[in-house]
Amino acid sequence: MDILLGVLIISFIVHGFAIVPFINFLYQLKFFKNRSAVAKEKTDEASVHIRSKARTPEGGGLLILIITSLIFSFSLPIMKYLGFEITHVYPINDEINIIFFTFIAFGLLGLYDDIIKFFELDREEGYTGLKTRYKFLLQGLLGLIIGAMMFINLGIDIIHIPFIGVIHFGFWFIPVAAFLVVTFANAINITDGMDGLASGLLMISLFGFLMLSTSILDTPLSIFIALWLGGLIAFLYFNVFPARLFLGDVGALAFGATFATVGILTGKVIALMIIGLPFLIDGFSSLLQILWVKFFHRRLFPIAPLHYYLLKIGWSEPKIVQRAWLVGIMLVIFGIWLAII
């Protein structure tokens, strides 16, 4: 654990030195929403809130993705050279490849979507970014590749259910894993709608998975989570209210997909569902609203997702975020307890 804490601190310092110049670079690049992102005639709480965040740079997730990946690439060879013991649950190269593939592939998809939106490359069709059907199609394809890599290369085909035991899925593990990866990618993307909400919850959740990964003696996974946490903490300093930097789709999609992958690699899928419950609730509230309007032609909720509903009934943004963090802390404790019994 002392090594992991040192790795986390190093990651925090490196990200901390890089993040201010990166913010300035994003301002120069104008990598942010323009006020045209939401029509002026829309006066609901969500639209007003989004307009208030216009011209705050997005893409902070890109910095974390780059620095974390670079340090992770060198950390294990350096540790091995210095004589540190490296233990792993799965074939180490295959495990590292899956982590990298998830982190980078979903990050590139999110970056492509951000570039289309912020540079208004689709202005003939409106300010929309990558079309939803194409985005979900690509996410599903990537999810299936990740599930297949876990099933074929790592030999994972089980899910442990507390108080029940192990369930073998066989080949069906691939679509199950893909579903989890895509679900969390979009859930965290939806939750990333308030200053510090998604990044703070993710930071709290990853501390839980850091404990779980050390308990199964998986050094590569533990090192990666520690590096990721160091970057998130540095980012969160500039993301709390009032935010100077947002994750963007490049961060939200990459982090959501990788969060699910980390949960699966620890073998604690139920803990993943419990620890990630705030993301799932917020994302499901948005999905339910969309489906309700589509099939019943009226809204189920006055506004969705949940964090905007709380804003509508009078909660301030900092109060929503801070109470979400408290809920997240208790769910991490509960999830870890379930995982170790």
Q: How many residues does the chain have?
A: 341
- Write out the residue range of the structural domain in which residue 173 sits: 2-340
| Structure-token match 């964090």, residue found | 307
- Do 187 and 283 touch, CB atoms closer than 8 A? yes
How confident is the model at residue 126, as a pLDDT? 47
What is the pLDDT, as a whole number, of residue 52? 77
How many distinct structural domains can be found in the chain?
A: 1
**Which pLDDT value is given to residue 41?**
57
| pLDDT confidence of residue 122 | 64
Which residues, 6 or more positions from 208, have their beta carbon under 8 angstroms from its beta carbon? 271, 275, 332, 333, 335, 336
Q: What is the mean pLDDT of each run of 10 residues along the chain (341 residues)?
A: 88 96 90 63 70 84 96 90 83 94 96 85 59 90 97 90 83 95 96 94 96 91 96 96 92 97 93 96 94 87 90 92 97 92 76
Q: How many CB atoms lie within 10 A of CB 321?
A: 21
Predicted confidence at residue 30, as pLDDT, reads 80
